[in-house]
Amino acid sequence: MDVTVLCIRLLINVLMVLVAQVHSSYCAQNDDAAFPCIVPNRLQFFEYESISVTCATEQRVMRTLKEINQTNKSNWSTSAGSGTVKPAYPLDSGEYWCEDGEGLRHSAVNISVTAGSVILESPVLPVKEGDNVTLRCTKKKSTSDIADFYKDGHLIRTGYKGNLIIHNVSRSHEGLYKCNITGAESPESRLAVRGEM
């Protein structure tokens, strides 16, 4: 029995190291250091998920929550350049950004944590004009082929397999997006579009 417990602990430690390496590698590829690196790479999360937020060297992660609850501080751990929300609760929804030692605030992202059953997976960073972007509507503990997608409160399309692909993105595609699967609705997230460099 002791050998089994030891093997399980060793396996968990190895998995934690691998996740940390993947996270570090992904964030190193983040081509816009003005934004925090969010892992998993999306703006919406189900309650009880783990969210990692990382900033560039010599920056710290900051956040302003939509609702302040003093009893909810225990699930937030932060250091100079990274922070982890584990497990995440709806009260962890809010604005997250990177700040340097002089208090200069960089671009912020709005993270939503929902106790609901549907989230919209959309890019954290602004999408470059001309690129294609996929928005994915995900239902917890279920798969669905049909999802309705909304932009700024208006139904724009029904996506099959839960996906909405926007080809050749332009500034006109910027806005607040949400989705709906069989009556269950996701929170809204902003799709930002930047011009070609």
Structural domains for the chain: 31-115 (2.60.40.10), 118-197 (2.60.40.10)
pLDDT of res. 150 = 98
Which range in 12-21, 36-45, 82-91 is most confidently predicted, on average pLDDT? 36-45
pLDDT band at 37 (very low <50, low <70, confident <90, very high): very high
Q: How far is CA 164 from the centre of its chain?
A: 18
pLDDT of res. 187 = 97
Pair 177, 188: CB distance under 8 Å: yes
- Return left, alpha or beta for 91; rule: phi > 0 is left, psi -120 to 50 is alpha, else beta: alpha
Cis omega (within 30 of 0) on the bond before 90? no
Q: Percentage of the chain surpassing pLDDT 70? A: 76
* Whole-number average pLDDT of the chain: 83
Span 81-116, pLDDT tens digits: 788 899 999 999 999 999 888 888 888 999 999 999
Q: Which of 32-46, 51-65, 69-83, 111-125 has the lowest mean pLDDT?
A: 69-83
Is 116 buried (19+), middle (13-18) or exposed (0-12) by CB count in 10 A?
A: middle
pLDDT of res. 133 = 96
Residues 8, 9, 11, 12, CA torsion sign: positive
pLDDT of res. 51 = 95
Kindly tell me if the per-residue pLDDT of 179 is higher than 80.
yes
Span 110-160, pLDDT tens digits: 999 999 999 999 999 999 999 999 999 999 987 777 999 999 999 999 988
Spell 149-180 as b/e; 16+ CB within 10 A means b: bbbeeeeeeebeebebebeebeeebbbebbbb
Cα separation of 184 and 162, whole Å? 13
